[in-house]
Amino acid sequence: MKPIISPSLLSADFGNLERDITMINQSEADWLHLDIMDGVFVPNITFGMPVISAIKKISEKPLDVHLMITQPERYIADFKKAGADCLSVHWEASIHLHRTIHAIKNEDMLAGVALNPHTPVALLNDIIKDLDFVLIMSVNPGFGGQEFIERSYQRIQELKEIIIKNDSNALIEVDGGVNTENAEFLVKAGADILVAGNAIFKAENPLDAIYKLRNCLA
């Protein structure tokens, strides 16, 4: 099975955003990944509801919205209204994780939990059956273009074992340093969804880069 490809808009040309989203529409990508940062949970600020709503009007791909914000439960309905189709919250930012996940599902969105590189995947044992996907951060969250953390392969394998052991249908998404050189190894480790930013938007031929990621070609 080929991986789901979710290009990260954080690496797009914000001066030509409509052009870049249109390119994604015409590609073999499956989703469009949006990183939402509040300057508190991570040391960066990206965009909010009005920009997401504008993106939704252009994008023909489901919006894969990754919340890197404190108290994400306050905004679940707002992100749905803005156009989110998949919504992931950080384990580290969610005190009442079970309640938050079911609030996302009640808004008819796919619900995911994101884990920072230092957070043990075993912490998801009690909630894995409730999740549609888990987002493994393979860089420290906050900025694009960082170097891939090699231990991420082991974390993906460990998570896959937890999913199988608990008879869960959760998919594994990987975000950070994903490129055509490591895509094949990520999928072999157990990844189902690949988020890529610079590897797509900074490529000489973004459409070809997406094709190679989807087919795990170097």
CB distance 115 to 137 below 8 Å: yes
What is the spatial distance between Cα 52 and Cα 62, in angstroms, rounded to a whole number?
A: 12
Q: Assess whether 108 carries a catalytic annotation.
A: no
Selecting among 30, 35, 38, 85, the annotated active-site residue is: 35
Selecting among 30, 85, 132, 175, the annotated active-site residue is: 175
Looking up tokens 């894995």 gives: 128
CB distance 14 to 47 below 8 Å: no
Q: DSSP 3-state assignment of 3? A: coil
CB distance 206 to 8 below 8 Å: no
Q: DSSP 3-state assignment of 73? A: helix
Strand partners, 45: 38
Q: Assess whether 175 carries a catalytic annotation.
A: yes
Measured CA distances, 57 to 22, 30, 150, 211 (Å): 11, 17, 37, 25
Q: Which residues are marked as active site? A: 35, 175
